[in-house]
Copies of this chain bind each other. A is one copy, B any other.
Amino acid sequence: MNLTLHERIRGEIEADILSGALAPGSRLPVEHELMKRYDCSRMTVNKALSALALAGLVDRRKRAGSFVARPRVHSMVLDIPDLEAEISGRGQTYGYELRRRGLRSSNPARPQESALMGSGRLLELEGIHFAGGAPLAAEVRLINLAAAPAAELVDFSETSPGAWLLKHIPWTEAETRIAAVSAEAASRDLNVHPTTPCLLVERRTWRGTEGITLVRQTFVGSSYDLVARFGPTRTG
């Protein structure tokens, strides 16, 4: 790596911010201090600090100085929704009701399943999400116990499996497929007419190449929207 000087200055400050050595809200050295430290002109430190400000890592205020920015809120892209947090966030009570729990091996006759999970033991969970007392979504989930062994001991009648996984099992990759379907088989659980349009969300998550979970959720169309926001990928 042959970095230019302003890239090096930027990089060192950025590393200190990301490592926590420079805490959010703390004050950075003023430009003249950095000029002395790096033995360079003010334009050079200014370029480094301006780039950090543009990237949102630093707030610059006249007369006051430069400060480590508080982390921004909307950095996530199409987040894996934490239904509980989302529903509480819009002021409704959230509930999860476990309908079925089973342990089995992955079924080689279902290529989708064995591709994700290998041949290990699976925890299979079926349940209903409620928002404000009304059914919001029916969920069928498989958890790969090789990737998340702790899941076997969790009592999912009190905790929704998605929230538990998000909290305890780090993931690196996810794929979400979204389609519109009729409620049909899920209509009884969701308490809607069988022809009601529903959002079918099918998600697989991995940590590296190891599958963690496969989930199929059927949302009542009139009561749930998926929103994805995204901006430019932050380049260094």
A interface, CB within 8 angstroms of B: 14, 18, 43, 55-56, 74-78, 172-182, 195, 197-199, 219, 221, 224-236
Instruction: List the 9 shortest-distance A-B pairs measured between CB atoms, nearest first.
Output: A236-B236, A180-B221, A197-B197, A180-B199, A180-B197, A180-B180, A178-B226, A173-B231, A176-B228
10 more CB-based (< 8 A) A-B contacts, given A180-B199, A234-B236: A14-B236, A77-B77, A77-B233, A173-B229, A174-B229, A175-B227, A178-B228, A197-B197, A199-B199, A228-B228
Asked whether A176 and B236 contact (CB < 8 A) given A78-B78, A197-B198, the answer is: no
User: Are the CB atoms of A199 and B172 closer together than 8 Å?
Assistant: no
How distant is the Cα of A180 from the Cα of B217 in the complex, in angstroms? 13
User: Are the CB atoms of B198 and A195 closer together than 8 Å?
Assistant: no
Asked whether A234 and B232 contact (CB < 8 A) given A180-B197, A221-B197, the answer is: no
Least Cβ distance of A158 to chain B in Å?
30
Least Cβ distance of A76 to chain B in Å?
7
Asked whether A221 and B178 contact (CB < 8 A) given A77-B233, A230-B78, A234-B236, the answer is: no
Q: Which residues of B contact A227 (CB under 8 A)?
A: 175-178
How distant is the Cα of A174 from the Cα of B197 in the complex, in angstroms? 26
Q: Which residues of B contact A235 (CB under 8 A)?
A: 18, 234, 236
